[in-house]
Structure 1
Amino acid sequence: MFSILSAGVAPALALMSFFYLKDRFTEPLTLIARNFILGMLLVFPIMFIQYVFQAESIVNSPVMESFLLVGLLEEFFKWFIFMYAIYHHSEFDAHYDGIVYAVAISLGFATLENILYLFTNGINYAFIRAFFPVSSHALFGVIMGYYFGKAKIFSAHKRRNIFFAFLIPYLLHGTYHYILTVVSSNWIIALVPFMIGLWLVALHRMKVANMTHSSLQNVNENKQETQAIKRLP
Protein backbone atom coordinates (compact mmCIF):
# COMPACT_ATOMS: atom_id res chain seq x y z
CA MET A 1 0.00 0.00 0.00
CA PHE A 2 2.79 2.43 0.91
CA SER A 3 4.58 1.73 -2.37
CA ILE A 4 1.42 2.50 -4.36
CA LEU A 5 0.83 5.73 -2.46
CA SER A 6 4.45 6.76 -2.98
CA ALA A 7 4.32 5.92 -6.68
CA GLY A 8 1.06 7.83 -7.01
CA VAL A 9 2.23 10.98 -5.22
CA ALA A 10 5.90 11.25 -6.23
CA PRO A 11 5.40 12.33 -9.89
CA ALA A 12 3.03 15.12 -8.87
CA LEU A 13 5.38 16.40 -6.18
CA ALA A 14 8.30 16.39 -8.61
CA LEU A 15 6.33 18.26 -11.28
CA MET A 16 4.85 20.71 -8.77
CA SER A 17 8.34 21.47 -7.46
CA PHE A 18 9.59 22.08 -11.00
CA PHE A 19 6.85 24.58 -11.86
CA TYR A 20 6.96 26.21 -8.42
CA LEU A 21 10.72 26.81 -8.55
CA LYS A 22 10.40 28.47 -11.96
CA ASP A 23 8.37 31.25 -10.33
CA ARG A 24 10.53 34.30 -9.68
CA PHE A 25 8.41 35.26 -6.69
CA THR A 26 7.34 32.37 -4.47
CA GLU A 27 3.68 31.79 -3.70
CA PRO A 28 2.33 30.75 -0.26
CA LEU A 29 2.70 26.99 0.13
CA THR A 30 -0.52 26.86 2.14
CA LEU A 31 -2.47 28.31 -0.80
CA ILE A 32 -0.81 25.92 -3.23
CA ALA A 33 -1.63 23.00 -0.92
CA ARG A 34 -5.25 24.14 -0.64
CA ASN A 35 -5.61 24.18 -4.40
CA PHE A 36 -3.92 20.81 -4.66
CA ILE A 37 -6.49 19.37 -2.23
CA LEU A 38 -9.36 21.03 -4.11
CA GLY A 39 -8.06 19.36 -7.26
CA MET A 40 -8.08 16.00 -5.49
CA LEU A 41 -11.68 16.49 -4.35
CA LEU A 42 -12.77 17.06 -7.96
CA VAL A 43 -12.11 13.39 -8.69
CA PHE A 44 -15.25 12.24 -6.87
CA PRO A 45 -17.97 14.28 -8.63
CA ILE A 46 -16.28 13.76 -12.00
CA MET A 47 -16.06 9.99 -11.48
CA PHE A 48 -19.73 9.90 -10.48
CA ILE A 49 -20.86 11.83 -13.56
CA GLN A 50 -18.69 9.68 -15.82
CA TYR A 51 -20.12 6.52 -14.25
CA VAL A 52 -23.69 7.71 -14.84
CA PHE A 53 -22.97 8.57 -18.48
CA GLN A 54 -21.37 5.18 -19.08
CA ALA A 55 -24.06 3.23 -17.21
CA GLU A 56 -26.81 4.93 -19.22
CA SER A 57 -24.87 4.45 -22.48
CA ILE A 58 -25.11 8.17 -23.20
CA VAL A 59 -21.60 8.19 -24.64
CA ASN A 60 -21.21 5.77 -27.53
CA SER A 61 -18.25 6.98 -29.58
CA PRO A 62 -14.55 7.75 -28.99
CA VAL A 63 -15.11 11.39 -29.96
CA MET A 64 -17.91 11.87 -27.42
CA GLU A 65 -15.97 10.04 -24.73
CA SER A 66 -12.81 12.07 -25.32
CA PHE A 67 -14.28 15.54 -25.83
CA LEU A 68 -17.39 15.32 -23.64
CA LEU A 69 -16.95 12.76 -20.88
CA VAL A 70 -13.24 13.33 -20.25
CA GLY A 71 -11.95 16.59 -21.73
CA LEU A 72 -15.01 18.76 -21.11
CA LEU A 73 -15.83 17.50 -17.62
CA GLU A 74 -12.33 17.49 -16.20
CA GLU A 75 -11.12 20.78 -17.64
CA PHE A 76 -14.36 22.61 -16.87
CA PHE A 77 -14.28 21.56 -13.22
CA LYS A 78 -10.63 22.62 -12.91
CA TRP A 79 -11.42 25.92 -14.64
CA PHE A 80 -14.37 26.50 -12.31
CA ILE A 81 -12.31 25.82 -9.18
CA PHE A 82 -9.67 28.28 -10.36
CA MET A 83 -12.30 30.97 -10.95
CA TYR A 84 -13.91 30.32 -7.57
CA ALA A 85 -10.84 29.85 -5.36
CA ILE A 86 -7.98 31.77 -6.99
CA TYR A 87 -8.89 34.30 -9.66
CA HIS A 88 -9.91 37.06 -7.24
CA HIS A 89 -7.38 36.14 -4.54
CA SER A 90 -4.92 38.85 -3.52
CA GLU A 91 -1.94 36.48 -3.92
CA PHE A 92 -2.75 36.09 -7.61
CA ASP A 93 -0.92 39.23 -8.69
CA ALA A 94 1.48 38.13 -11.44
CA HIS A 95 1.17 36.38 -14.80
CA TYR A 96 3.16 33.29 -13.76
CA ASP A 97 1.09 32.91 -10.57
CA GLY A 98 -1.75 31.63 -12.72
CA ILE A 99 0.46 28.78 -13.91
CA VAL A 100 1.48 27.79 -10.37
CA TYR A 101 -2.08 27.65 -9.05
CA ALA A 102 -3.60 25.98 -12.12
CA VAL A 103 -0.87 23.32 -12.06
CA ALA A 104 -1.58 22.73 -8.35
CA ILE A 105 -5.26 22.08 -9.09
CA SER A 106 -4.45 19.85 -12.06
CA LEU A 107 -1.83 17.83 -10.19
CA GLY A 108 -4.13 17.39 -7.21
CA PHE A 109 -6.68 15.85 -9.55
CA ALA A 110 -4.04 13.76 -11.33
CA THR A 111 -2.58 12.48 -8.05
CA LEU A 112 -5.76 10.99 -6.63
CA GLU A 113 -6.77 9.67 -10.06
CA ASN A 114 -3.33 8.06 -10.34
CA ILE A 115 -3.49 6.48 -6.88
CA LEU A 116 -6.92 4.99 -7.57
CA TYR A 117 -5.72 3.63 -10.91
CA LEU A 118 -2.63 2.04 -9.35
CA PHE A 119 -4.70 0.45 -6.59
CA THR A 120 -6.96 -1.08 -9.25
CA ASN A 121 -4.41 -2.09 -11.89
CA GLY A 122 -1.15 -2.48 -10.00
CA ILE A 123 2.08 -0.58 -9.46
CA ASN A 124 3.53 -1.85 -12.75
CA TYR A 125 1.81 1.07 -14.48
CA ALA A 126 3.35 3.72 -12.21
CA PHE A 127 6.23 4.67 -14.50
CA ILE A 128 4.22 5.10 -17.68
CA ARG A 129 1.46 7.00 -15.87
CA ALA A 130 4.01 9.44 -14.47
CA PHE A 131 5.19 10.27 -17.97
CA PHE A 132 1.79 10.51 -19.64
CA PRO A 133 -1.42 11.07 -17.60
CA VAL A 134 0.15 12.91 -14.66
CA SER A 135 2.47 15.12 -16.71
CA SER A 136 -0.25 15.83 -19.28
CA HIS A 137 -2.56 17.13 -16.53
CA ALA A 138 0.25 19.41 -15.35
CA LEU A 139 0.81 20.72 -18.87
CA PHE A 140 -2.90 21.37 -19.39
CA GLY A 141 -2.68 23.32 -16.13
CA VAL A 142 0.20 25.40 -17.51
CA ILE A 143 -1.88 26.42 -20.53
CA MET A 144 -4.91 27.17 -18.36
CA GLY A 145 -2.89 29.20 -15.88
CA TYR A 146 -1.14 31.13 -18.63
CA TYR A 147 -4.43 32.48 -19.97
CA PHE A 148 -5.84 33.11 -16.50
CA GLY A 149 -2.69 35.08 -15.69
CA LYS A 150 -3.00 37.02 -18.92
CA ALA A 151 -6.62 37.85 -18.11
CA LYS A 152 -5.73 38.97 -14.59
CA ILE A 153 -2.78 41.18 -15.51
CA PHE A 154 -3.99 42.76 -18.76
CA SER A 155 -7.34 44.51 -19.05
CA ALA A 156 -7.55 44.01 -22.82
CA HIS A 157 -9.42 40.90 -23.98
CA LYS A 158 -10.03 39.76 -20.39
CA ARG A 159 -13.12 37.68 -21.17
CA ARG A 160 -11.51 36.12 -24.21
CA ASN A 161 -8.49 35.02 -22.19
CA ILE A 162 -10.69 33.58 -19.43
CA PHE A 163 -12.54 31.62 -22.11
CA PHE A 164 -9.25 30.46 -23.66
CA ALA A 165 -8.19 29.27 -20.19
CA PHE A 166 -10.91 26.65 -20.55
CA LEU A 167 -11.12 26.10 -24.31
CA ILE A 168 -7.49 25.33 -25.15
CA PRO A 169 -6.82 22.85 -22.29
CA TYR A 170 -10.17 21.22 -23.09
CA LEU A 171 -9.26 20.71 -26.76
CA LEU A 172 -5.78 19.46 -25.88
CA HIS A 173 -7.13 17.06 -23.25
CA GLY A 174 -9.79 15.76 -25.61
CA THR A 175 -7.18 15.19 -28.32
CA TYR A 176 -4.87 13.42 -25.87
CA HIS A 177 -7.61 11.04 -24.76
CA TYR A 178 -8.81 10.49 -28.33
CA ILE A 179 -5.32 9.32 -29.31
CA LEU A 180 -5.32 6.86 -26.39
CA THR A 181 -8.78 5.59 -27.32
CA VAL A 182 -8.38 5.21 -31.08
CA VAL A 183 -4.78 4.02 -31.33
CA SER A 184 -5.08 0.68 -29.55
CA SER A 185 -1.65 -0.65 -30.55
CA ASN A 186 1.60 1.33 -30.54
CA TRP A 187 -0.21 4.24 -28.91
CA ILE A 188 3.07 5.45 -27.43
CA ILE A 189 4.40 6.16 -30.94
CA ALA A 190 1.39 8.40 -31.59
CA LEU A 191 1.38 10.02 -28.16
CA VAL A 192 5.08 10.84 -27.75
CA PRO A 193 5.11 13.55 -30.49
CA PHE A 194 1.96 15.05 -28.99
CA MET A 195 3.55 15.16 -25.52
CA ILE A 196 6.79 16.65 -26.85
CA GLY A 197 4.82 19.39 -28.58
CA LEU A 198 2.81 19.97 -25.42
CA TRP A 199 5.97 20.32 -23.34
CA LEU A 200 7.48 22.77 -25.81
CA VAL A 201 4.34 24.92 -25.80
CA ALA A 202 4.12 24.82 -22.00
CA LEU A 203 7.77 25.78 -21.53
CA HIS A 204 7.34 28.68 -23.94
CA ARG A 205 4.23 29.88 -22.08
CA MET A 206 6.15 29.71 -18.80
CA LYS A 207 8.97 31.80 -20.25
CA VAL A 208 6.55 34.39 -21.63
CA ALA A 209 4.68 34.62 -18.31
CA ASN A 210 7.90 35.29 -16.40
CA MET A 211 9.05 37.81 -19.02
CA THR A 212 5.71 39.60 -18.75
CA HIS A 213 6.25 40.15 -15.04
CA SER A 214 9.75 41.51 -15.62
CA SER A 215 8.54 43.85 -18.37
CA LEU A 216 5.71 45.22 -16.25
CA GLN A 217 8.09 45.68 -13.34
CA ASN A 218 10.49 47.68 -15.53
CA VAL A 219 7.63 49.84 -16.82
CA ASN A 220 6.47 50.58 -13.27
CA GLU A 221 10.02 51.43 -12.18
CA ASN A 222 10.43 53.79 -15.15
CA LYS A 223 7.14 55.49 -14.30
CA GLN A 224 8.22 55.94 -10.69
CA GLU A 225 11.57 57.40 -11.79
CA THR A 226 9.82 59.80 -14.19
CA GLN A 227 7.43 60.96 -11.47
CA ALA A 228 10.34 61.44 -9.05
CA ILE A 229 12.25 63.54 -11.61
CA LYS A 230 9.17 65.70 -12.23
CA ARG A 231 8.90 66.43 -8.51
CA LEU A 232 12.49 67.68 -8.34
CA PRO A 233 12.84 71.48 -7.99
Structure 2
Amino acid sequence: MLSLALCLGFFPLYLVFSYTSKAAGKTWLSVSSVLYGRATKVNRGESLELPYAFLGLIPGAAWLLYFHWTKGRHQRSFTNVLRVFLWGCFCTLPAGIIEHVTGAGLRQDTVLSSAAVGFLLIGPIEELSKLVAVWGSIYRSPDFRDPMHGILYSATAACAFASIENVVYMTQLGPGILVLRLAFATPAHVMFSSMWGYSMGVARFQKTGEIATIAKGLLAAVVLHGVYNCIVAINPKMAVVTLIPLMIFMGWIMLRMIARFRKNYPFPSLGRGVMILCPNCGAYALESVKHCSRCGFAIPTAEPDAPRFCANCRARLEPSKENCASCGENVQISGQCRAKD
Protein backbone atom coordinates (compact mmCIF):
# COMPACT_ATOMS: atom_id res chain seq x y z
CA MET A 1 0.00 0.00 0.00
CA LEU A 2 2.77 2.46 0.91
CA SER A 3 4.66 1.66 -2.28
CA LEU A 4 1.58 2.29 -4.40
CA ALA A 5 0.80 5.49 -2.52
CA LEU A 6 4.34 6.72 -3.12
CA CYS A 7 3.96 6.44 -6.88
CA LEU A 8 0.51 8.09 -6.77
CA GLY A 9 1.91 10.84 -4.60
CA PHE A 10 4.42 11.92 -7.23
CA PHE A 11 1.77 12.19 -9.95
CA PRO A 12 1.23 15.99 -9.59
CA LEU A 13 4.97 16.61 -9.98
CA TYR A 14 4.96 14.42 -13.07
CA LEU A 15 2.12 16.52 -14.52
CA VAL A 16 4.14 19.72 -14.21
CA PHE A 17 7.32 18.08 -15.49
CA SER A 18 5.73 16.37 -18.51
CA TYR A 19 3.85 19.55 -19.47
CA THR A 20 7.02 21.61 -19.72
CA SER A 21 9.33 18.88 -21.00
CA LYS A 22 8.67 15.29 -22.08
CA ALA A 23 12.24 14.32 -21.20
CA ALA A 24 11.77 15.73 -17.70
CA GLY A 25 8.59 13.71 -17.31
CA LYS A 26 10.42 10.51 -18.21
CA THR A 27 13.23 11.41 -15.82
CA TRP A 28 10.76 11.92 -13.00
CA LEU A 29 9.15 8.57 -13.73
CA SER A 30 12.60 7.00 -13.36
CA VAL A 31 13.07 8.75 -10.02
CA SER A 32 9.66 7.51 -8.88
CA SER A 33 10.54 3.93 -9.83
CA VAL A 34 13.72 4.11 -7.76
CA LEU A 35 11.76 5.45 -4.79
CA TYR A 36 9.16 2.72 -5.31
CA GLY A 37 11.87 0.11 -4.87
CA ARG A 38 13.16 1.91 -1.79
CA ALA A 39 9.65 2.02 -0.33
CA THR A 40 9.28 -1.72 -0.89
CA LYS A 41 12.42 -2.32 1.13
CA VAL A 42 11.08 -0.16 3.95
CA ASN A 43 7.84 -2.16 3.95
CA ARG A 44 9.89 -5.34 4.35
CA GLY A 45 11.59 -3.87 7.40
CA GLU A 46 14.95 -3.10 5.81
CA SER A 47 16.80 0.03 6.87
CA LEU A 48 17.66 2.97 4.65
CA GLU A 49 21.35 3.37 3.99
CA LEU A 50 21.48 7.05 3.04
CA PRO A 51 21.75 9.78 5.68
CA TYR A 52 18.47 11.23 6.83
CA ALA A 53 19.18 14.69 5.48
CA PHE A 54 19.96 13.49 1.96
CA LEU A 55 16.82 11.38 1.85
CA GLY A 56 14.63 14.20 3.12
CA LEU A 57 16.00 16.55 0.49
CA ILE A 58 15.25 14.20 -2.42
CA PRO A 59 12.16 16.14 -3.67
CA GLY A 60 13.94 19.49 -3.55
CA ALA A 61 17.08 18.14 -5.21
CA ALA A 62 15.05 16.48 -7.97
CA TRP A 63 13.16 19.72 -8.58
CA LEU A 64 16.36 21.77 -8.89
CA LEU A 65 17.98 19.21 -11.18
CA TYR A 66 14.90 19.28 -13.37
CA PHE A 67 15.23 23.03 -13.88
CA HIS A 68 18.97 22.74 -14.42
CA TRP A 69 18.72 20.04 -17.10
CA THR A 70 15.63 21.13 -19.02
CA LYS A 71 14.57 24.18 -20.97
CA GLY A 72 10.92 23.98 -21.85
CA ARG A 73 8.66 26.51 -23.55
CA HIS A 74 8.20 28.36 -20.26
CA GLN A 75 11.58 30.06 -20.07
CA ARG A 76 13.01 30.48 -16.59
CA SER A 77 16.43 31.00 -15.08
CA PHE A 78 17.96 28.34 -12.85
CA THR A 79 19.27 31.18 -10.68
CA ASN A 80 15.71 32.40 -10.15
CA VAL A 81 14.52 28.88 -9.33
CA LEU A 82 17.35 28.46 -6.83
CA ARG A 83 16.48 31.81 -5.24
CA VAL A 84 12.83 30.77 -4.82
CA PHE A 85 13.95 27.42 -3.40
CA LEU A 86 16.21 29.07 -0.82
CA TRP A 87 13.44 31.48 0.15
CA GLY A 88 11.13 28.49 0.58
CA CYS A 89 13.68 26.83 2.87
CA PHE A 90 14.13 30.02 4.88
CA CYS A 91 10.37 30.54 5.29
CA THR A 92 10.10 27.28 7.21
CA LEU A 93 11.86 29.04 10.10
CA PRO A 94 9.24 31.73 10.87
CA ALA A 95 6.47 29.23 10.15
CA GLY A 96 7.99 26.77 12.63
CA ILE A 97 8.44 29.46 15.27
CA ILE A 98 4.83 30.64 14.94
CA GLU A 99 3.50 27.09 15.10
CA HIS A 100 5.65 26.37 18.16
CA VAL A 101 4.54 29.53 19.98
CA THR A 102 0.86 28.97 19.18
CA GLY A 103 1.02 25.26 20.00
CA ALA A 104 -0.19 24.30 16.54
CA GLY A 105 0.19 20.59 15.91
CA LEU A 106 -1.70 17.72 14.38
CA ARG A 107 -2.11 15.95 17.71
CA GLN A 108 -5.01 17.62 19.54
CA ASP A 109 -7.37 16.37 22.24
CA THR A 110 -10.56 16.52 20.19
CA VAL A 111 -11.64 16.42 16.57
CA LEU A 112 -12.93 20.00 16.89
CA SER A 113 -9.61 21.29 18.18
CA SER A 114 -7.78 19.40 15.42
CA ALA A 115 -10.01 21.05 12.83
CA ALA A 116 -9.53 24.48 14.38
CA VAL A 117 -5.75 24.13 14.42
CA GLY A 118 -5.67 22.75 10.88
CA PHE A 119 -7.86 25.43 9.33
CA LEU A 120 -6.94 28.46 11.46
CA LEU A 121 -3.26 27.94 12.27
CA ILE A 122 -1.28 25.32 10.35
CA GLY A 123 -2.93 25.86 6.96
CA PRO A 124 -2.75 29.68 6.91
CA ILE A 125 0.74 29.83 8.44
CA GLU A 126 2.36 27.37 6.06
CA GLU A 127 0.59 28.48 2.88
CA LEU A 128 1.25 32.15 3.59
CA SER A 129 4.90 31.36 4.29
CA LYS A 130 5.30 29.64 0.93
CA LEU A 131 3.46 32.46 -0.82
CA VAL A 132 5.79 35.01 0.77
CA ALA A 133 8.73 33.00 -0.57
CA VAL A 134 7.48 33.41 -4.14
CA TRP A 135 6.27 36.97 -3.68
CA GLY A 136 9.50 38.16 -2.13
CA SER A 137 11.88 36.35 -4.45
CA ILE A 138 10.43 36.44 -7.96
CA TYR A 139 6.84 37.70 -8.30
CA ARG A 140 7.71 41.35 -8.98
CA SER A 141 10.67 40.43 -11.14
CA PRO A 142 10.49 40.86 -14.93
CA ASP A 143 11.56 37.21 -15.13
CA PHE A 144 8.04 36.28 -13.95
CA ARG A 145 6.65 36.79 -17.44
CA ASP A 146 4.62 33.64 -18.06
CA PRO A 147 1.34 32.70 -16.33
CA MET A 148 2.60 29.12 -15.90
CA HIS A 149 5.46 30.51 -13.82
CA GLY A 150 2.96 30.91 -10.99
CA ILE A 151 2.56 27.14 -10.68
CA LEU A 152 6.22 26.38 -11.40
CA TYR A 153 7.57 28.74 -8.75
CA SER A 154 4.89 27.84 -6.21
CA ALA A 155 5.86 24.18 -6.66
CA THR A 156 9.50 25.14 -6.13
CA ALA A 157 8.72 26.89 -2.84
CA ALA A 158 6.51 23.97 -1.79
CA CYS A 159 9.25 21.41 -2.48
CA ALA A 160 11.73 23.49 -0.49
CA PHE A 161 9.33 23.85 2.43
CA ALA A 162 8.47 20.15 2.38
CA SER A 163 12.13 19.14 2.12
CA ILE A 164 13.03 20.96 5.32
CA GLU A 165 9.97 19.45 7.00
CA ASN A 166 11.11 16.01 5.84
CA VAL A 167 14.48 16.43 7.52
CA VAL A 168 12.87 17.66 10.75
CA TYR A 169 10.36 14.80 10.90
CA MET A 170 13.00 12.20 10.10
CA THR A 171 15.27 13.36 12.90
CA GLN A 172 12.30 13.05 15.27
CA LEU A 173 10.56 9.91 14.00
CA GLY A 174 13.21 8.01 12.06
CA PRO A 175 13.59 6.99 8.41
CA GLY A 176 10.27 5.13 8.24
CA ILE A 177 8.36 8.42 8.09
CA LEU A 178 10.10 9.36 4.83
CA VAL A 179 7.95 7.00 2.75
CA LEU A 180 4.75 8.62 4.00
CA ARG A 181 6.24 12.08 3.60
CA LEU A 182 7.25 11.42 -0.01
CA ALA A 183 3.96 9.72 -0.81
CA PHE A 184 1.61 12.27 0.72
CA ALA A 185 3.02 15.36 2.44
CA THR A 186 5.46 16.50 -0.27
CA PRO A 187 3.08 16.23 -3.26
CA ALA A 188 0.28 17.62 -1.08
CA HIS A 189 2.37 20.73 -0.41
CA VAL A 190 2.86 21.13 -4.16
CA MET A 191 -0.87 20.79 -4.84
CA PHE A 192 -1.84 23.15 -2.00
CA SER A 193 0.55 25.77 -3.35
CA SER A 194 -0.62 25.31 -6.93
CA MET A 195 -3.92 26.93 -5.89
CA TRP A 196 -2.38 30.29 -5.09
CA GLY A 197 0.37 29.71 -7.67
CA TYR A 198 -2.28 29.57 -10.37
CA SER A 199 -3.85 32.73 -8.98
CA MET A 200 -0.45 34.45 -9.02
CA GLY A 201 0.01 33.52 -12.66
CA VAL A 202 -3.37 35.02 -13.51
CA ALA A 203 -3.03 38.10 -11.30
CA ARG A 204 0.40 39.02 -12.65
CA PHE A 205 -1.07 39.70 -16.08
CA GLN A 206 -4.49 41.16 -15.34
CA LYS A 207 -5.25 44.84 -14.99
CA THR A 208 -7.32 44.83 -11.79
CA GLY A 209 -7.99 42.72 -8.72
CA GLU A 210 -4.45 41.43 -8.22
CA ILE A 211 -4.62 40.99 -4.44
CA ALA A 212 -8.19 39.66 -4.51
CA THR A 213 -7.27 37.04 -7.12
CA ILE A 214 -4.27 35.82 -5.14
CA ALA A 215 -6.30 35.84 -1.92
CA LYS A 216 -8.88 33.50 -3.47
CA GLY A 217 -6.16 31.05 -4.41
CA LEU A 218 -4.63 31.32 -0.95
CA LEU A 219 -8.00 30.62 0.66
CA ALA A 220 -8.46 27.51 -1.49
CA ALA A 221 -5.00 26.30 -0.49
CA VAL A 222 -5.72 26.88 3.20
CA VAL A 223 -9.01 24.96 3.00
CA LEU A 224 -7.40 21.97 1.27
CA HIS A 225 -4.48 22.08 3.70
CA GLY A 226 -6.93 22.13 6.60
CA VAL A 227 -8.89 19.17 5.24
CA TYR A 228 -5.64 17.23 4.79
CA ASN A 229 -4.53 17.93 8.36
CA CYS A 230 -7.94 16.98 9.77
CA ILE A 231 -7.91 13.64 7.97
CA VAL A 232 -4.46 12.88 9.38
CA ALA A 233 -5.39 14.04 12.89
CA ILE A 234 -8.68 12.14 13.12
CA ASN A 235 -7.21 8.73 12.34
CA PRO A 236 -3.46 8.72 11.61
CA LYS A 237 -3.33 4.94 11.09
CA MET A 238 -5.99 5.05 8.37
CA ALA A 239 -4.65 8.21 6.72
CA VAL A 240 -2.75 6.14 4.15
CA VAL A 241 -6.14 5.08 2.78
CA THR A 242 -8.36 8.06 3.58
CA LEU A 243 -5.99 10.61 2.06
CA ILE A 244 -5.92 8.99 -1.38
CA PRO A 245 -9.32 10.41 -2.54
CA LEU A 246 -8.24 13.90 -1.47
CA MET A 247 -4.91 13.52 -3.28
CA ILE A 248 -6.67 12.38 -6.45
CA PHE A 249 -9.12 15.30 -6.21
CA MET A 250 -6.32 17.85 -5.77
CA GLY A 251 -4.36 16.26 -8.62
CA TRP A 252 -7.44 16.60 -10.84
CA ILE A 253 -7.76 20.29 -9.95
CA MET A 254 -4.08 20.87 -10.67
CA LEU A 255 -4.39 19.09 -14.02
CA ARG A 256 -7.32 21.33 -14.97
CA MET A 257 -5.37 24.46 -14.06
CA ILE A 258 -2.40 23.38 -16.15
CA ALA A 259 -4.74 22.53 -19.04
CA ARG A 260 -6.32 25.98 -18.74
CA PHE A 261 -2.91 27.62 -18.99
CA ARG A 262 -2.16 25.41 -22.00
CA LYS A 263 -5.35 26.56 -23.70
CA ASN A 264 -4.98 30.26 -22.90
CA TYR A 265 -1.21 30.56 -23.39
CA PRO A 266 -0.03 32.97 -24.58
CA PHE A 267 -2.45 35.38 -22.92
CA PRO A 268 -4.15 37.93 -25.19
CA SER A 269 -1.82 40.57 -26.59
CA LEU A 270 -1.62 43.86 -24.71
CA GLY A 271 -1.27 45.68 -28.02
CA ARG A 272 1.60 46.57 -30.30
CA GLY A 273 4.85 48.15 -29.24
CA VAL A 274 7.06 48.02 -26.19
CA MET A 275 6.20 47.32 -22.57
CA ILE A 276 8.01 48.30 -19.41
CA LEU A 277 7.35 47.45 -15.77
CA CYS A 278 5.38 49.83 -13.60
CA PRO A 279 7.71 50.88 -10.74
CA ASN A 280 4.71 51.12 -8.40
CA CYS A 281 2.89 47.79 -8.82
CA GLY A 282 5.18 45.77 -11.08
CA ALA A 283 2.58 45.30 -13.82
CA TYR A 284 3.43 45.38 -17.51
CA ALA A 285 2.51 48.69 -19.15
CA LEU A 286 2.86 50.04 -22.68
CA GLU A 287 5.70 52.54 -22.72
CA SER A 288 3.73 54.85 -25.01
CA VAL A 289 0.77 55.11 -22.61
CA LYS A 290 2.73 56.79 -19.78
CA HIS A 291 0.28 55.58 -17.11
CA CYS A 292 -0.07 52.12 -15.62
CA SER A 293 -3.38 50.57 -16.67
CA ARG A 294 -3.58 48.68 -13.38
CA CYS A 295 -2.77 51.23 -10.67
CA GLY A 296 -2.86 54.52 -12.62
CA PHE A 297 0.69 55.43 -11.58
CA ALA A 298 2.37 58.02 -13.81
CA ILE A 299 5.28 56.05 -15.23
CA PRO A 300 8.44 58.13 -15.60
CA THR A 301 10.55 57.87 -18.73
CA ALA A 302 12.46 54.62 -18.50
CA GLU A 303 16.23 54.61 -18.58
CA PRO A 304 17.82 53.49 -21.86
CA ASP A 305 19.11 50.30 -20.27
CA ALA A 306 15.85 49.45 -18.46
CA PRO A 307 14.35 46.07 -19.42
CA ARG A 308 11.74 46.27 -22.16
CA PHE A 309 9.35 43.62 -23.39
CA CYS A 310 7.34 42.79 -26.48
CA ALA A 311 3.70 43.78 -25.98
CA ASN A 312 2.58 40.87 -28.13
CA CYS A 313 4.27 37.98 -26.30
CA ARG A 314 5.97 39.60 -23.27
CA ALA A 315 9.41 38.29 -24.24
CA ARG A 316 12.33 40.46 -23.23
CA LEU A 317 13.61 42.50 -26.17
CA GLU A 318 17.16 41.94 -27.26
CA PRO A 319 19.55 44.84 -27.94
CA SER A 320 19.76 46.18 -31.49
CA LYS A 321 16.95 43.99 -32.82
CA GLU A 322 14.17 45.32 -35.03
CA ASN A 323 11.93 42.34 -34.32
CA CYS A 324 11.03 40.38 -31.21
CA ALA A 325 13.19 37.26 -31.12
CA SER A 326 10.27 35.26 -29.70
CA CYS A 327 7.26 36.11 -31.88
CA GLY A 328 8.81 38.13 -34.74
CA GLU A 329 6.73 41.23 -33.98
CA ASN A 330 8.22 44.42 -35.41
CA VAL A 331 9.14 46.62 -32.48
CA GLN A 332 10.12 50.27 -32.56
CA ILE A 333 11.61 52.21 -29.66
CA SER A 334 11.64 55.84 -30.71
CA GLY A 335 14.67 57.80 -29.58
CA GLN A 336 15.79 55.23 -27.01
CA CYS A 337 18.34 52.45 -26.89
CA ARG A 338 17.27 48.91 -26.45
CA ALA A 339 17.73 47.21 -23.13
CA LYS A 340 20.84 45.25 -22.38
CA ASP A 341 20.48 41.67 -21.21
Say if 1:193 and 1:201 are closer, same or farther in 2 by CA, change over 3 A: same
- Establish whether residue 117 from structure 1 lines up as the match of residue 169 from structure 2: yes
SS of the equivalent of 2:139 reads coil
CA shift digits 1:67-89 (9 cap, x unpaired):
12210111112222322322211
Contact 1:35 1:105 survives alignment (8 Å): yes
Count of aligned pairs between the two proteins? 222
Say if 1:40 and 1:193 are closer, same or farther in 2 by CA, change over 3 A: same
Contact 2:92 2:129 survives alignment (8 Å): no
SS of the equivalent of 1:126 reads helix
Aligned to 2:151: 99
Displacement, 1:15?
5.3
Aligned to 1:202: 254
Contact 2:170 2:177 survives alignment (8 Å): yes
Aligned to 1:67: 119
Contact 2:114 2:233 survives alignment (8 Å): yes
2 CA distance for matches of 1:24 and 1:172? 30
SS of the equivalent of 2:268 reads helix
Aligned to 2:83: 34
One-letter amino acid of the structure 1 residue matched with residue 60 of structure 2: A
Q: 2:186 aligns with which of 128, 134, 137?
A: 134
One-letter amino acid of the structure 2 residue matched with residue 29 of structure 1: F
Displacement, 1:216?
3.5
Displacement, 1:213?
1.9
Structure 2 residues not aligned, in runs of 5+: 1-48, 272-311, 314-323, 331-341
Further displaced range: 98-107 or 154-163: 154-163
Q: 1:85 aligns with which of 132, 137, 141?
A: 137
Contact 1:114 1:129 survives alignment (8 Å): yes
Query: Given the two structures, how large is their TM-score scaled by the length of structure 1?
Result: 0.83
Query: Given the two structures, how large is their TM-score scaled by the length of structure 2?
Result: 0.59
1 CA distance for matches of 2:67 and 2:119? 27
Say if 1:19 and 1:128 are closer, same or farther in 2 by CA, change over 3 A: farther
Larger C-alpha radius of gyration, 1 or 2?
Answer: 2
Contact 1:23 1:210 survives alignment (8 Å): no
Say if 1:168 and 1:5 are closer, same or farther in 2 by CA, change over 3 A: same
Aligned to 1:11: 59
- Establish whether residue 48 from structure 1 lines up as the match of residue 85 from structure 2: no
| Structure possessing the higher relative contact order (Cα contacts under 8 Å, 6 or more residues apart) | 1
Higher share in helix: 1
Superposed structure 1 runs of 4+ greater than 4 Å apart: 15-23
Displacement, 1:23?
5.2
Displacement, 1:197?
0.7
Say if 1:142 and 1:201 are closer, same or farther in 2 by CA, change over 3 A: same
1 CA distance for matches of 2:196 and 2:64? 15
SS of the equivalent of 2:103 reads helix
SS of the equivalent of 1:118 reads helix
One-letter amino acid of the structure 1 residue matched with residue 185 of structure 2: P
CA shift digits 1:150-206 (9 cap, x unpaired):
001222543321212311111111111111111244122211000011111112212
2 CA distance for matches of 1:95 and 1:38? 20
1 CA distance for matches of 2:82 and 2:267? 29
One-letter amino acid of the structure 1 residue matched with residue 85 of structure 2: F
2 CA distance for matches of 1:182 and 1:92? 40
Structural mapping, 1:125-164, within 5 Å: 125-164=177-216
Contact 1:151 1:162 survives alignment (8 Å): yes
Displacement, 1:14?
3.6
SS of the equivalent of 2:143 reads coil
Displacement, 1:6?
2.5
Say if 1:164 and 1:17 are closer, same or farther in 2 by CA, change over 3 A: farther
Structural mapping, 1:162-173, within 5 Å: 162-173=214-225
